[in-house]
């Protein structure tokens, strides 16, 4: 069994981490109900993820497993989501 290490993602890894999340949620029922059209989903979900979790990259709240086998975005206490980045 290969053991993968969880580590903080750097701001330079943001695009790859967001791509991992975009793929991971591509079959999530609630997410796809929100964006049922595939092209709309591919355009909207990365902006959504960046708006609500992107601040984690600069604040130590973005984590990746191995070579982007998994990604998690958390906002540390006192960090606000950036709704302006959503493009809405």
pLDDT-wise least confident of 23-27, 48-52, 63-67: 63-67
Confidence of residue 50 (pLDDT cuts 50, 70, 90): very high
Residue 3 lies in a domain: no
Confidence of residue 88 (pLDDT cuts 50, 70, 90): very low
Q: Using the structure block, give the residue that is written with the tokens 């029922």.
A: 29
The per-residue pLDDT for 40 is: 98
For 10, the token pair is: 């750097």
Residue 35 lies in a domain: yes
The per-residue pLDDT for 17 is: 95
Residue 6 lies in a domain: no
Q: Is 52 helix (H, G, I), strand (E, B) or coil?
A: helix
CA 25, CA 14: separation in Å to the nearest integer? 16
How many CB atoms neighbour CB 7 within 10 A? 12
Residue 78 lies in a domain: yes
For 64, the token pair is: 């990746």
Domain count along the chain: 1
Residue 5 lies in a domain: no
Q: Give the H or E element holding residue 65.
A: strand 62-65
Domain limits for position 80: 11-86
For the stretch 52-80, pLDDT in tens is 999 999 888 999 998 878 999 998 888 88
Residue 4 lies in a domain: no
Residue 69 lies in a domain: yes
Q: What is the pTM of this model?
A: 0.83
Q: Give the H or E element holding residue 26.
A: none
The per-residue pLDDT for 83 is: 63
């Amino acid at each position: 069994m290969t053991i993968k290490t969880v580590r903080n993602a750097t701001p330079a890894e943001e695009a790859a981490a967001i791509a991992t999340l975009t793929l991971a949620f591509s079959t999530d029922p609630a997410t796809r109900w929100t964006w049922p059209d595939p092209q709309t989903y591919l355009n909207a979900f990365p902006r959504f993820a960046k708006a609500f979790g992107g601040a984690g990259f600069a604040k130590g709240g973005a984590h990746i497993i191995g070579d982007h086998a998994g990604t998690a975005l958390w906002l540390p206490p006192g960090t606000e989501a950036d709704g302006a980045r959503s493009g809405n």
